[in-house]
Chain A
């Protein structure tokens, strides 16, 4: 069963901590994405990558960075966590074009205290 796996379902971190969210896909997809989802705001794109070592800013990249050293793995880094980064984080992957749809992970519910 093909899938996208996010390393943690729930995380609680303290303000100022550096936080790593990991995502691995086993579908040999070229594209990978990080979104955050907040009530009433929908899915907002943080960063995406269309190839190994390539990254592009999405709509809300401030306070985040990403790393894609291998095709199957895309990491989201919160450089210094803040309470306004409390959210559901969703990783997704797709083939070269989005026409075939995205496959999402189950999400990481991050709480920053």
Chain B
């Protein structure tokens, strides 16, 4: 069974701090995606990474795909309250489906 494990499950930090969340698997994936979900809303796609070792930046967010394409990380620099949300990673299960991690719930305190 393909699994995506996300860590930590919960993270609460002060505004201005840096943080990293992880998405790990024993399986190799062709691509991996990160989503952010705000309370009461559906997840929103942030980025797709495809190539092993790939790094993508989205303002203060840096996404990295592991060299072996089994894991990924999301680093946030100088976190802001607007970064609060549930961060989900997802990887291709088939042509149609994604498999999902359980998420990291992030709270940024002002």
Which residues of the partner chain A approach B31 to less than 8 Å between Cβ atoms?
A: 99
The total of chain B residues at the interface (CB under 8 A) is 23
- Whether a CB of chain A sits under 8 angstroms from the CB of B85 is no
Interface centre among A4, A42, A56, A100 (most CB of B within 10 A): A42
A49-85 interface code vs B (CB 8 A; 1 in, 0 out) = 0100000100000000000000000000000000000
The docked-state distance in angstroms from the alpha carbon of A97 to that of B42 is 20
Kindly state whether residue B28 has any CB partner on chain A within 8 Å: no
- On whether the beta carbons of A104 and B92 are closer than 8 Å, the reply is no
Binary contact track A14-46/B, C-beta < 8 Å → 1, others 0: 000000000000000001010000001111010
CB pair B43–A98 under 8 Å, yes or no, is: no
A102 B96 Cβ-Cβ under 8 A: no
Cβ–Cβ < 8 Å partners of B102 in chain A: 40-42
Q: Bound state CA distance, A102 and B101, in angstroms?
A: 15
In the complex, whether B98 has a CB less than 8 A from a CB of chain A is yes
Query: Contacting A43 at CB < 8 Å: which of B41, B44, B88, B96?
Result: B88
Q: Once the chains bind, are B100 and A42 in contact (CB under 8 Å)?
A: yes
- A 1-19 contacts with B by CB, 8 A: 4, 9
* A contacts, CB < 8 Å to B: 4, 9, 31, 33, 40-43, 45, 48, 50, 56, 90, 92, 94, 96-107, 109
Interfacial residues, chain B to chain A (CB-CB below 8 A) = 30-31, 33, 35, 40-45, 48, 88, 90, 92-93, 95-98, 100-103
- The 7 A-B residue pairs whose C-beta atoms are closest, nearest first, are A104-B42, A101-B45, A42-B102, A43-B100, A97-B95, A98-B98, A104-B43
Q: A4-B42, A99-B31, A104-B42 are in contact. List 12 more A-B contacts (CB 8 A).
A: A33-B97, A43-B100, A45-B97, A92-B42, A98-B92, A98-B98, A101-B33, A102-B43, A103-B45, A104-B44, A105-B42, A106-B40
